[in-house]
């Protein structure tokens, strides 16, 4: 549609400065898709091409309609990823300074491999910018050949002690990037800079294994394992309290990666970094999903929150919306949950759209409620008002409740179970006196 084309072209222009033929590349995508589909159906050759999100500066994927190949990991982070991450870093640092009254000194970044494939490594780029380092690309190939350290005089702010909590996919696909960031951390730690401006410099006088242990800043699941350790517990229910979820997150995230580490268990080291973190950051790079689209967001973002509270930490939890390259937004996780509940999950227009999809629509509604329950179970923030909105919009609405009874009774039962569990675990204080009776009657 013309309106969709205009929006996409505007996003491309913001993300791909200096590329002159974006409109022609975009307009060629429809014909390319059609021709490639027909060729594939006839068993003919479909030309290969790189995968990625055009709106994240990946002009090279246009025109679409090619047999997708994954990108060369040696090119991550790309130049466009660094440019877009610089905008996000500015917004994040300004928000933290405004909220906390001080510069950000230590952060944990939740880094997923799927996002790195789409964006060319924006999450890693953000970590490098906060740390005060920049990749060096080979002029002939565009591959990252190393890094350079930005002097404090140029940086004009304290360096941020960044810890990466990497996903299993990132661990498996981006070994070179793990070694790159690990080398950058150790180089920054060895600099003759004041600790007030470079927190990592506290390890400068250590040597050997002591220096190696003090500069471990990349953690994730053990080799061969995946996930945050929290998703299954949230799905099954029956956990005793938030601390149990926090312990599960720590246990599933405490393997250290980098030169000479190779996934070695380091529970004490990771716990110390979680405790001292001033911020936790997860970036959402596209608008097709949101924070309640999958319980995995609650498992990772909420899992960290549960662990930090259990350890006595006070990290600000940021859900960075960078889906618009020209206007990144930094919101607290609790703010984002509240925004999405009102804007989508409890929105009558969205619910009406789901009702047009029958069984599948009911499943999507239950999935959103499960994600909301996951955040309530893991975070110190309360979501009473959000649960009220969801109950009123779904079970409290006769038409919607009737749809669920008719089209997907299992989804309705799952929604009732989540709401009843939230009420039973003191995660929700309903504003209506008849909620308990309604949940019991509907079960």
pLDDT tens-place string over residues 92-150? 999 999 999 999 999 999 999 988 888 889 999 999 999 999 999 988 778 898 999 99
Return the domain boundaries, the chain. 2-69, 78-332, 346-442
pLDDT band, residue 3 (cuts 50/70/90): low
**pLDDT score for 436:** 87
Q: What are phi and psi of 100, to 5 degrees?
A: -100, -15
Q: DSSP string covering 252-284, please?
A: HH-EE-STTTTTEE-HHHHHHHHHH-SEEEEEE
Asked whether residue 57 carries a pLDDT value surpassing 70, the answer given is: no
Q: Is the peptide bond before 63 cis (omega within 30 degrees of 0)?
A: yes
Rounded distance between C-alpha atoms, residue 276 and residue 307, angstroms: 12
Contact 184, 133 (CB under 8 A): yes
**pLDDT score for 62:** 86
Average pLDDT over residues 373-392: 96
Q: What are phi and psi of 326, to 5 degrees?
A: -85, -10
pLDDT band, residue 70 (cuts 50/70/90): low
Residue 343: both structure tokens together: 């804007």
Please state whether 209 falls in left (phi above 0), alpha (psi between -120 and 50) or beta.
alpha
Asked whether residue 2 carries a pLDDT value surpassing 60, the answer given is: no
**pLDDT score for 404:** 96
pLDDT single digits (tens) 234-279: 988 878 899 999 999 999 999 999 999 999 999 999 999 999 999 9
């Amino acid at each position: 549609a013309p309106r969709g084309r205009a929006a996409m072209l505007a996003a491309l222009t913001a993300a791909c400065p200096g590329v002159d033929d974006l409109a022609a590349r975009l307009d060629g995508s429809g014909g390319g898709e059609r021709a490639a589909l027909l060729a594939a159906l006839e068993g003919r050759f479909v030309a290969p091409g790189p995968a990625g999100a055009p709106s994240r500066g990946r002009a090279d994927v246009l025109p679409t309609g090619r047999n997708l190949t994954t990108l060369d990991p040696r090119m991550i982070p790309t130049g466009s990823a660094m440019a877009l991450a610089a905008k996000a870093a500015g917004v994040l640092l300004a928000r933290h300074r405004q909220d906390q009254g001080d510069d950000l000194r230590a952060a944990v970044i939740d880094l997923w491999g799927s996002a790195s494939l789409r964006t060319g490594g924006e999450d890693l780029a953000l970590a490098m910018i906060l740390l005060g380092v920049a990749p060096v690309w080979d002029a002939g190939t565009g591959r990252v050949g190393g890094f350079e350290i930005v002097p404090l005089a140029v940086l004009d702010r304290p360096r941020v002690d960044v810890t990466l909590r990497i996903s299993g996919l990132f661990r498996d696909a981006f070994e070179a990037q793990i070694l790159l960031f690990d080398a950058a951390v150790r180089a920054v730690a060895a600099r003759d800079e004041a600790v007030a401006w470079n927190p990592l410099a506290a390890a400068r006088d250590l040597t050997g294994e002591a220096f190696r242990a003090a500069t471990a800043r990349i953690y994730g699941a053990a080799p061969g394992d995946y996930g945050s350790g929290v998703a299954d517990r949230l799905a099954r229910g029956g956990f005793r309290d938030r601390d149990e979820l926090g312990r599960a997150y720590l246990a599933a995230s405490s393997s250290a990666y980098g030169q000479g580490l190779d996934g070695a268990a380091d529970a004490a080291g990771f716990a110390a970094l979680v405790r001292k973190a001033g911020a936790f950051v997860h970036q959402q790079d596209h608008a097709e999903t949101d924070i309640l689209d999958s319980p995995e967001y609650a498992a990772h973002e909420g899992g960290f929150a549960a662990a930090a509270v259990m350890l006595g930490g006070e990290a600000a939890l940021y859900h960075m919306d960078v889906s618009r390259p020209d206007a990144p937004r930094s919101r607290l996780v609790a703010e984002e949950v509240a925004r999405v509940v009102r804007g989508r999950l409890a929105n009558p227009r969205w619910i009406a759209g789901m009702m047009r999809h029958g069984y599948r629509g009911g499943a999507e509604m239950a999935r959103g409620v499960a994600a909301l329950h996951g955040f309530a179970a893991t975070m110190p923030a309360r979501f009473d008002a959000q649960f009220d909105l969801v109950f009123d919009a779904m079970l409290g609405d006769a038409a919607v409740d009737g749809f669920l009874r008719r089209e997907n009774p299992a989804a309705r039962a799952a929604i009732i179970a989540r709401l009843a569990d939230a009420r039973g675990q003191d995660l929700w204080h309903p504003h209506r006196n008849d909620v308990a009776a309604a949940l019991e009657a509907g079960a």
